[in-house]
């Protein structure tokens, strides 16, 4: 039993009745947060009919096939490896995000069941690059992301979009150290950098796309401590670091969850971090205790940091209740760091 809400153009939003009556697949529980989206596509070979059947209490007739953007990137590369490990068929998109025809060509060739967007410009060596490359940033992160979302909608495809949680900063209602995090429905309050400003704009516009799952990633960390993009690697190499508690994303735990979210056809916004906060110094203390007992570091203040960067950086805590309700096994940031990063890389002897 479903409720049909006709939409103006080509899509129909289907809201599930109580989960007990509407399990799409015995192995895939339906969340109370979940919006199920079915589309009437203009395209005859649209694979969404197979997605629909999996949502309507029948086993899917078609195995999952993912189309991933961001082949040469950090998160895109890890996603491909995960798909391989899980024996999920996947293909990397060769199109450019802002070029609609190339995206359509990818979808026509691959005929995916789901699309993942881990493409976009993040700036090299860091987001300061976006301050001096505004048009390039808009082209990929704004025009590109919106074009991909629009094409996916036209094809009736769920798009899992790796976005950012760096669109908030601690404020009076969410003070540092209070444990009160920003929720999914909160409006961004940090536009201090051009990167964050454009990401906030896009997140807002994507709310109108009922096929998009927006994942707010923050300060990603992976078990590969040699990767210069890894937050831990970054702060161990800085001459001086600030010390501020933040929400962070342990990719080794969260990326498999993003795959599961696609399988469940979850859409809407999700704070995509581990529960709780951790500060720079707390991470560096763990690094010293697990990896290098001789490791030392120097702190500086936010004012001093401001002198060596161009754009201000966001510091915040995100509320992870929504994600934790969907995935109760999700570990706190500290436990996740120990399990996925520090124990597997341990170089110091265990103390009794
Ligand atoms: N890393 C972080 O600290 C962080 C934090 C929060 C959120 N995120 C978000 O997560 C996403 C992935 O991040 P990442 O760290 O994996 O990025 P990354 O390593 O910089 O990789 C970016 C990928 O995007 C591709 N790309 C860039 N512009 C494109 C375009 N116009 N069309 C098609 N592909 C394009 C790049 O391919 P080419 O080399 O071919 O251009 C590359 O494969 C980004 O949207 C980012 O904003 C990242």
What does the H/E/C string look like for 131-153?
HHCHHHHHHHHHHHHHHHHHHHH
The DSSP H or E segment spanning 217 is strand 212-217
User: Does 305 score more than 80 pLDDT?
Assistant: yes
User: Quick one: pLDDT band at residue 352, thresholds 50, 70, 90?
Assistant: low
Average pLDDT value for the chain:
86
Burial of 234 (0-12, 13-18, 19+ CB in 10 A): middle
Residue having the nearest C-alpha atom to atom 44 of ligand 1: 120
> 5-14: per-residue pLDDT in tens?
333 333 333 3
Distance CA 245, CA 177 (A): 7
Q: CA angle at residue 274 from 128 to 250, to 5 degrees?
A: 60
User: Does 35 score more than 60 pLDDT?
Assistant: no
Residue having the nearest C-alpha atom to atom 45 of ligand 1: 120
Residue having the nearest C-alpha atom to atom 39 of ligand 1: 72
CA-CA distances (angstroms) from residue 198 to 73, 124, 247, 349?
Answer: 20, 17, 21, 46
**Structural domain boundaries in the chain:** 2-345
Q: Which ligand 1 atom sits nearest the alpha carbon of residue 218?
A: 6
Q: Please state, for a pLDDT cut of 70, what percent of the chain lies above it.
A: 82
Strands 11-16, 36-39: parallel, antiparallel or unpaired by DSSP? antiparallel
Q: Please state, for a pLDDT cut of 90, what percent of the chain lies above it.
A: 75
| Contact present, 270 and 212 (Cβ < 8 Å) | no
Q: Residues with beta carbon inside 6 Å of ligand 1?
A: 69-76, 96-98, 118-122, 140, 144, 162, 164, 217, 220, 229
Please report the DSSP string for 272-308 in residue order: -S-SS-B-HHHHHHHHHHHT-TT----B--HHHHHTT
Any idea which architecture 2-345 has in CATH? 3-Layer(aba) Sandwich (3.40)
Q: Which of 131, 163, 125 is nearest to 144 (CA)?
A: 163
228-237 mean pLDDT: 96
User: Does 107 score more than 80 pLDDT?
Assistant: yes
Q: Which region among 34-43, 86-95, 150-159 has the lowest average model confidence (pLDDT)?
A: 34-43
User: Does 111 score more than 60 pLDDT?
Assistant: yes
User: Does 189 score more than 90 pLDDT?
Assistant: yes
User: Quick one: pLDDT band at residue 61, thresholds 50, 70, 90?
Assistant: low
Q: Which residues pair with 68 in a beta bridge?
A: 92, 116
User: Quick one: pLDDT band at residue 53, thresholds 50, 70, 90?
Assistant: very low
User: Quick one: pLDDT band at residue 17, thresholds 50, 70, 90?
Assistant: very low
Specify the pLDDT at position 45: 41
Q: Which of 265, 197, 204, 318 is nearest to 36 (CA)?
A: 265
More confident residue, 179 or 32: 179
DSSP 19: G
Q: Which of 116, 120, 162, 250 to mutate to test ligand 1, by most ligand atoms within 8 A of the CB atom?
A: 120
Residue having the nearest C-alpha atom to atom 11 of ligand 1: 118
Q: Which of 119, 217, 250, 254 to mutate to test ligand 1, by most ligand atoms within 8 A of the CB atom?
A: 119
Q: What is the largest CA-CA distance in the chain?
A: 64
User: Quick one: pLDDT band at residue 270, thresholds 50, 70, 90?
Assistant: very high
More confident residue, 42 or 185: 185
For 229, the token pair is 């993009």
147-161 mean pLDDT: 98
The DSSP H or E segment spanning 164 is strand 158-164
DSSP 338: I
User: Quick one: pLDDT band at residue 126, thresholds 50, 70, 90?
Assistant: confident
41-54 mean pLDDT: 41
Q: How far is the CA of 169 from the centre of ligand 1 (A)?
A: 23
Predicted TM-score of the model (pTM): 0.86
> 64-80: per-residue pLDDT in tens?
999 999 999 999 999 99
The DSSP H or E segment spanning 5 is strand 2-6
User: Does 3 score more than 90 pLDDT?
Assistant: no
Residue having the nearest C-alpha atom to atom 28 of ligand 1: 120
Burial of 79 (0-12, 13-18, 19+ CB in 10 A): buried
Specify the pLDDT at position 167: 96
DSSP 25: B
Q: How far is the CA of 166 from the centre of ligand 1 (A)?
A: 15
């Amino acid at each position: 039993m479903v409720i049909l809400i006709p939409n103006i153009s080509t899509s129909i939003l289907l809201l599930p009745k109580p989960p007990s009556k509407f399990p799409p697949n015995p192995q895939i529980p339906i969340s109370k947060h979940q919006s199920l989206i079915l589309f009437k596509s203009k395209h005859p070979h649209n694979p969404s009919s197979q997605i629909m059947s999996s949502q309507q209490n029948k086993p899917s007739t078609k195995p999952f096939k993912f189309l991933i953007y961001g082949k040469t990137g950090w998160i895109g590369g890890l996603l491909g490896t995960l798909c391989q490990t899980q024996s999920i068929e996947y293909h990397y998109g060769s199109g450019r995000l802002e070029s609609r025809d190339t995206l359509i060509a990818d979808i026509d060739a691959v005929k995916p069941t789901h699309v993942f967007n881990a493409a976009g410009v993040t700036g090299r060596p860091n987001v300061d690059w976006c301050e001096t490359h505004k048009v390039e940033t808009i082209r990929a992160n704004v025009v590109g992301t919106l074009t991909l979302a629009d094409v996916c909608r036209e094809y009736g495809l769920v798009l899992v979009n790796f976005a950012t949680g760096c669109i908030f900063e601690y404020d009076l209602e969410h003070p540092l150290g209070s444990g009160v995090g920003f929720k999914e429905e909160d409006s961004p309050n940090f536009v201090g950098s051009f990167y964050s400003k454009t990401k906030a704009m896009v997140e807002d516009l994507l709310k109108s796309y009922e096929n998009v799952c927006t994942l707010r990633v923050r300060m990603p960390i992976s078990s590969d401590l040699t990767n210069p993009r890894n937050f831990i690697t970054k702060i161990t190499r800085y001459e001086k670091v600030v010390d501020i508690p933040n929400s962070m994303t342990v990719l080794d735990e969260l990326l498999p969850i993003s795959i599961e979210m696609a399988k469940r056809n979850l859409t809407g916004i999700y704070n995509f971090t581990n529960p709780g906060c951790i500060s720079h110094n707390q991470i560096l203390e763990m690094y010293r205790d697990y990896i290098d007992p001789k490791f030392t570091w120097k702190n500086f203040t936010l004012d001093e940091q401001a002198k060596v960067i161009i754009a201000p950086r966001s510091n915040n805590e995100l509320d992870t209740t929504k994600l934790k309700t969907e995935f109760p096994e999700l570990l706190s940031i500290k436990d996740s760091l120990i399990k996925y990063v520090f124990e597997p890389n341990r170089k110091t002897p265990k103390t009794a």
